[in-house]
Structure 1
Amino acid sequence: MRICWANTENYDESNVVILGVPDESKSHSLRKGTSEAPHKIREISNIRDTYKRGSDISTGFPLGGINTKVYDYGNILRTEVSDAIGKISSKSKIPITIGGDHSISTDIIKSLSKRYGSISLVYFDAHPDFISSSSGYYGSVLHDVLPDIDTKSSIQIGIRTPEQEEIDNIKKHDLSVITPWDVLKNGITEIEKTILGKIGKNTYISVDMDAIDPAYAPGVSVPVPLGLGNLEVVYLLKSIVKRGIVGLDIMEVCPGYDIKDRTSHLASRMIAEVISAIN
């Protein structure tokens, strides 16, 4: 099943490539099931983001429509991520990856850095994922990609439950962090200015859906109250994307814990809004 936003069956003519990685082998979460997310997000996109009039099936595009050519690559194994991302980026296409657990982002970023050099990382998450005492799992992503990113032009957004080790690493590497409290205090337009003033040329966005408050995204592997609003996240995503990105991922949707597929539907809509903002 293709995501409903795919509008071409010709890989060569596409600008954006959707691919799923149904793997959670490096997650330590008590909640299991993120490997089901690529299928569920595609399924829900076709159920809720399309409508039928007579014999015609149409897609409800975001305001402004989608002019970008989007190809659904299907699902791949975790071991295939590096090569697949390398193939996509070598043709200057933008990969949008659906996980799976957040450690998948490590392989994506490392592959992209081989093409673009040091990456400017925008990391939406409730957790910093900056554990350095362990590596190769969903809580060590920032530590594992340090050689591949420019920390001076990278930023974390939505952080609200760091461990002491992560706080120490954030300070050590002088990584910028925006919390939900910052958004509440300063307002979304000031936060937008801060982000756009921070990020560099080759920007990659990684979204753990638990950055969003469980009121909007209950179906995640590690829900944390007091998170970002769904509209706030989409607003910031679109602003960043308009500046140009080399890729994006959406991770940690956990369909088995969702409520009426709200999180999967939100993830689908977020993908559409990102695509609609690509120049």
Structure 2
Amino acid sequence: MSLDIPYVRTPGPDGREITGQVDFSQVPRFAGPGTFAGLPRLADVGESAAGVIGIPFDSGVTYRPGARFGPEGIRSASHLIRPHHVELDSFPFAKHQVADVGNLAVTPFGIETAIDAMVTGLTAARERAGKLVILGGDHTVAYPSIKTLFDKHGPISVLHFDAHIDTFGTYFGASTHHGTPFRRAAEEGLLDPEGCMHIGIRGSLYDHHDLSDDRALGFQTVHASEFLTTGLHGIADQMRARLGDRPVYVSVDIDVLDPAFAPGTGTPEPGGLSSRELLFLIRSLAPLKVVGADVVEVAPSYDHANVTSLAAAHVAYEFLSIWGL
């Protein structure tokens, strides 16, 4: 542990010391190690129960690039995160060890080569860091993440927050890109077809078959327009009923938010969720068996006042807080 950075330390339930955030009473929030929320690096604590990991990859985008800089932007926007989650009454950084794993080094040239590297890196990271929140990166990263979780849990239920279904097919000769992660995972038998769900879908499509193909893969859809009629609590009830006690992977494309709340993304769609709605729905997952998560498609170069990165940082914090209950 670096001696020149003071961390908050507390005794854990098993008697071992937990290294929490940088002591921000001694270090200004704009200083410190530059990790997510001022957490220690995994290399400094050895192992953790939960952590964040960056995958700065955006070679799978089909429109505006820039999500490779998402992990950097999200970490920068996380420095105001404090240790007590009030709504959940959770102290995630004192309940067990949480760490910042750092970024996976993946090539920007060759999607399949990059995916192989992600599978290898995520497998190794989960052995030492426990449950992970991935900071993307484009949505391609969800596919290798699900592959590594399947090896441990078997078929995975996916709760997918997005403006787009991301079960599209081959595009310009590429069968794997940010619009296909859940199609690829379903075709390989990695998903539980009885427990997959999209939230926030909206916008135009190519044809009717986009939705029929999606239903054939087992996805149930809550369209953004349904928020006006069903309401937040009703949608939260639908999510919990659909997912049950299955192992759940939660994938959050930041473009599920309306561009007013998340302009810094590659394929924005009007008519989306507010950040308050998204955070509430993630919080409502606390009783479920969430085994992994990601927040992807943050492209800081299109952002204004870091509002997109800030929303994404708090999405990641919600998952860490759920795991800290």
Q: TM-score, normalised by structure 2?
A: 0.77
Does residue 69 (structure 1) correspond to residue 93 (structure 2)? The answer is no
Q: Could you list the per-position Cα deviations for residues 167-215 of structure 1 after superposition, in whole angstroms to 9, with x for gaps in the alignment? A: 1212323420011111221111111111001114210000100001111
From 213, 219, 236, the counterpart of 2:264: 219
Does residue 127 (structure 1) correspond to residue 184 (structure 2)? The answer is: no
- The match for 1:53 is none
Higher mean C-alpha deviation, range 73-82 or range 17-26 = 73-82
Find the aligned partners of 1:203 and 1:5 in 2 and give their Cα distance.
Answer: 27
SS at match of 1:85: helix
Q: CA RMSD in A?
A: 1.9
Q: Which stretches of structure 1, 4 residues or more, deviate above 6 A after TM superposition?
A: none
Contact 1:121 1:204 in 2 (8 A): yes
Q: 2:176 aligns with which of 103, 126, 136?
A: 136
The alignment-based identity, stated in percent, is 26
CA deviation map 1:213-258 (0-9, x unaligned): 1111111111100011211111111222432211000000010010
Residue matched to 1:149: 191
Which letter does structure 2 place at the counterpart of 1:43? S
Partners of 2:129 and 2:305 lie apart in 1 by 37
Contact map agreement 2:49 2:96 (CA 8 A) in 1: yes
Distance 1:136 1:142, change over 3 A: same
Describe how 1:3-22 pairs up with structure 2 within 5 A: 3-4=36-37, 6=39, 9=42, 10-22=44-56
Q: Secondary structure at the match of 2:287?
A: helix
Structure 1 Cα separation of the partners of residues 120 and 217 of structure 2: 29
Query: What residue is the counterpart of 1:113 in the other structure?
Result: 150
Alpha-carbon shift at residue 12 of structure 1 (Å): 4.3
The structure that is helix-richer by fraction is: 1
Q: For residues 217 and 190 of structure 1, do their structure 2 counterparts lie closer, same or farther at Cα, with a shift above 3 Å needed?
A: same
C-alpha change, 1:113 and 1:11, in structure 2 (3 Å) is: farther
1:175 to 201, 209, 219: 219
Structure 1 position 7, deviation (Å): 5.1
- Select which of 30, 37, 44 maps to 2:77: 44
Distance 1:92 1:204 in 2: 17
Matched AA of 1:176:
Q
Equivalent residue letter for 1:198: R
Q: What are the ranges of 5 or more consecutive residues in structure 2 without an aligned counterpart?
A: 1-33, 107-113
One-letter amino acid matched to 1:150: D
Distance 1:5 1:276, change over 3 A: farther
Q: Which SS does the other structure have where 1:4 is aligned?
A: helix
Aligned length: 268
TM-score of the superposition, structure 1-length normalised?
A: 0.89
Structure 1: runs of 5+ lacking an equivalent? 51-58
CA 74–110 in structure 1, closer or farther in 2 if over 3 Å, else same = same
Letter in 2 for 1:262: V
Amino acid corresponding to residue 129 of structure 1 in structure 2: D
SS in 1 for 2:290: coil
Structure of greater Rg: 2
Kept in 2: contact 1:98–1:250 (CA 8 A): yes
Indicate the residue corresponding to 1:197 in structure 2: 241
Q: Structure 1 counterpart of 2:278, which letter?
A: V
Provide Cα deviations, 1:63-122, integer angstroms capped at 9, x if missing partner: 123234211010112333212322344468111101111011111111111111100001
Letter in 2 for 1:175: F
